[in-house]
Chain A
Amino acid sequence: MAMKKALVVAVMLIGSAVIAAAPAQASGSQEPKTKDLILSTTTSTVDSGLLDVLIPIFEKKTGYRVKTISVGTGQALAMGAKGEADVLLTHAPAAEKKLVDSGAVINYQLVMHNDFVITGPVDDPAGIKGKSSAEAFKAIAAKGSVFVSRGDDSGTHKKELSIWKNAEIRPAGAKWYQESGQGMGATLLMASEKQGYTLTDRATYLAQKANISQEILSEGDKGLLNIYHVMEVNAERFPKVNAAGSKAFVEFMVAPQTQKIIGDFGKDKFGQSLFFPDAGKQM
C-alpha cells in the first residue's frame, strides 16, 4: 500500500516538475514578447519565394522576428479578425473590405498585384484558349472537363467562385468539379495529373511550371487581376497585438526600396516579374 503511495507521489512530482518546466523554458528560450511579429499571409507569397527575400531584410532593419504563417487568405483574415495575428498580407479585396469596415484592421495599404490565369492541358479539350474568364468557365462546364478548385476559402478560391458567378454556373457537386482543399502548388499538380483545368496566380504557376504539363490558356481579362494588400490588426481592439511591429511592417512593404525589390523579384529566374509594385496607386 505504501509503495503505491510512493509511486503516485513520484508520478505527481515528475508531472508537476514538467508543468513547471514548460513555461520556464518558454520564457528562457524566447526573446522579449514584443519582438515577435506574427504575419498571417497567403500561400502564394511564400510558395513563390518572395517573402524569403523580403523578411530577412525587414528583420535585419528593425530587429523584429517575423513569424510568417502561410495559410489561405480566408484563414489569414479570420486570424486577423480574432486578433491572433499582428499584420496581414492577403489578396481578396472584397473580404478584406469587410474587416476594414468592422474596424478589426487599420492602415490598409495597397502593395502589389499580379494576375490570375486559367491553365489547362496542352490539347485544351474544352477549347478555352483565348476566351475571357467567364466564357472559358462556361466552355469547361459545357464540355464537362475536369476542373480542380482550391476549395479552401483562399483568395484564389474566392476569385474562382466570383468567375463562376459571372458565368452563371453553379459547379458545386458536379462530377467534373473537384475540390483539392490544398495550397496552389499542390492544386496545380493535381490539375496536371488529372489533365484538368484550374485557376492559379501567375507567380505560383511559374514556380511550378517545370513540374507540370499545364499551359496558360486564358489570361489578361480585367477580372483576373490579383491584388495584394497589407494591413495592421487593430491594437486598440486587440491589446495583445504588436502595434509598433505591425506598423513597421506595413511601412516597410510600401517603402520605395521594398517596392523595387518586389518588382525585380523573379526576373533573374523566370525572365519576368512575378509581382508588380503598386504602393501609393489607386486601384
Chain B
Amino acid sequence: MNVLTEGLAEALRLLVTLDRDVINITLRTIQVSGTATLVSVLIGIPIGTVLALSRFFGRGFTVSMVNFGMGLPPVVVGLATWLCLTRYGPLGFFGILYSPTAMIIAQTIIATPIVAGFSLAAIQSVNPKLRLQILALGATRLQYLFLLLWEARLGILAAVIAGFGGVISEVGASMMVGGNVRGYTRVLTTATVLEVSKGKFELATALSIILLLLTFCIVAGLSYLQQRRKQP
C-alpha cells in the first residue's frame, strides 16, 4: 500500500512546511463546520429542551420529525439548498450560492436535527424526581432550566459532538452549494474528491489524514470537557 505510506509522508510534509493551500483549506473547514455547529447548537438545544419539557398538541409528530431529520441525507439537503439559492430560485436575491455562507446554511440544516434529537433524549433522561426537587427548593424558572441542562450536560455535549461530526465529514451538500471553488469554498472533503479525480492519490490521502487529525483534535477537546470532573 504505497499510496497510504506516501500519503502519510505527504501529509506530514504539508503540515510541517505549512503549505499555504492546505492551511487555507483547513482553516476554511474549521470556519464553515464550526459556525454551522455553533448555529445548530443555538437552535437545536432550545428545540430539544422545549420538546423534552412541554406537552402540546402535535408534540409526538414534532419529535418524530426531529428524529427523522437526524438521518437527513446531506446530498438531499444540498440539492434543496442549491435550488433555493440559485439566482432565479426563491432565495436567489441574497446572491450567496457558491459561498461559505451557503455551505454554513446547508450544514446547519444537517446538524440542527442531530443536536435537537440528542438534547431531547439527554434532557428526558434526567430523573423526573430531580426536576420536582429543583422546583421544590424554590428555584426560579431560569435556575431550573440551567440546572436541568447542567444535569444533562454529558448528553448535550454528545449532541454537539454528533452534530459537528455530521457536518465536518459531509461532502455532498458542500460540493453542491459551495461549488468547491479554489481558495474560497474548498474544504477538506471536497478537495479530497477533486484530488482523486485528478489522480493525485497521495495528496488526497494526505488531505484525508489532515481531516482525521482535525476531527480527532476537536472531538478530543469536546470529550475532555465532557468527561472532566465527571461525577458518578
Contacts and interface: CB of A to CB of B under 8 A. Distances in A.
Interface string A56-96: 00000000010111100000000000111000000000000
A46 interface: yes
B73 interface: no
Contacts of A70: 180, 194
Q: Which of B86, B179, B181, B197 has the most CB of A within 10 A?
A: B197
Specify the main secondary structure of chain B where it touches its partner: helix
A65 B198 contact: no
Q: Which of B54, B141, B181 has the most CB of A within 10 A?
A: B181
B54 A83 contact: no
Given A25-B101, A26-B96, A207 B179 contact: no
Interface in A16-54: 18, 22-23, 25-26, 29-30, 33, 36, 38, 43, 46-47, 49, 52
B42 A14 contact: yes
A185 B198 contact: yes
Contacts of A210: 199
Interface in B73-117: 86-88, 92, 94-96, 98-101, 104-105
B199 A52 contact: no
Contacts of B141: 2-3, 6
A211 interface: yes
> Which bracket fits the contact residues of B?
35 or more
A231 to B, nearest CB: 18
A208 interface: yes
B105 A22 contact: yes
A52 B182 CA distance: 9
Contacts, number: 102
Contact of B43 (A15, A65, A83, A208): A15
A7 B99 contact: no
> Which bracket fits the contact residues of A?
35 or more
A207 B88 CA distance: 37
Given A184-B197, A185-B197, A11 B88 contact: no
A228 B96 CA distance: 29
A261 interface: no
Interface of B: 39, 42-43, 46-47, 49-50, 53-54, 86-88, 92, 94-96, 98-101, 104-105, 141, 144-145, 179-182, 184-185, 194, 196-199, 201
Given A3-B141, A70-B194, 6 more contacts: A7-B50, A15-B43, A30-B99, A46-B194, A52-B182, A69-B179
| 3 tightest A-B CB contacts, nearest first | A185-B197, A208-B199, A11-B46
